[in-house]
Chains A and B, each alone.
Chain A
């Protein structure tokens, strides 16, 4: 079974600065997908960014980018120009490509605090 580990329970960042969240995963599969979800105080999960394992190019979505290191099984999220609205829990998630069912395995989350 796959496992996802987020080693930082909480990260603090100054508004307009950059913060990087770490995520590592354990798998024996070669083809899979990785995601970062944001959970604001409203508790609704929002997809931030996704990465296909077969793609070497790191995904970017506006101020959000990832550093995907397949050999190291690492998938970090960088938030640039942090805004107050970025304050939330962030979850890294893994999904197997071959498996029917589209099941996600989540890490334990990292709380991001943004200081004005």
Chain B
């Protein structure tokens, strides 16, 4: 089945540790996105990538890093510089980078990150 797979579903981070969240899509989409969701709030954009080997910062990029070495994969690393990482993280993808009507973002099931 085509879709977006995020793993793990739950992740725990120790103080000073970097952790990486996985996002894989088999939809042949060019663009991929990472969002953060805090309890009772909407989604905020962390990073996005419009094409392989290219990515841009979103609204809350500090303390996070990404890579886009393959079209299918867009991993997010939460670094030790992110002092409040506890949140729900959602990955999304869309067919292309252009903002046409049919270019809808599809979402994965998310990863819940907690600090030990």
Residues of B within 8 A of A44 (CB): 107-110
Query: A52 vs B101: C-alpha distance in the bound complex, in angstroms?
Result: 7
Closest to A97 in B: B99
Judging by beta carbons under 8 Å apart, are B101 and A108 in contact? Answer: no
Cβ contact of B41, chosen from A35, A97, A105, A108, cutoff 8 A:
A108
Cβ contact of B110, chosen from A43, A98, A100, A104, cutoff 8 A:
A43
Query: A52 vs B100: C-alpha distance in the bound complex, in angstroms?
Result: 9
Would you give the shortest CB distance from A25 to chain B, in whole angstroms? Answer: 12
Residues of B within 8 A of A47 (CB): 104-106
Contact with B along A37-60 (1 / 0, CB 8 A): 000001111110010100000000
Residues of B within 8 A of A100 (CB): 50, 97-99
Which size class do B's interface residues fall under? Answer: 20 to 34
Residues of A within 8 A of B56 (CB): 101
Q: How many residues of A contact B (CB 8 A)?
A: 29
Q: A109-B41, A109-B42 are in contact. Are A45 and B97 (CB under 8 A)?
A: no
Cβ contact of B43, chosen from A9, A46, A95, A106, cutoff 8 A:
A106
Residues of A within 8 A of B48 (CB): 101-103
Apart from A6-B42, A100-B97, A101-B56, 13 more pairs, CB < 8 Å: A42-B109, A43-B109, A47-B104, A50-B101, A101-B48, A101-B97, A102-B31, A102-B48, A102-B97, A103-B48, A104-B43, A106-B44, A108-B40
Contacts from A to B (Cβ < 8 Å): 4, 6, 9, 33, 35, 42-47, 50, 52, 91, 95-109
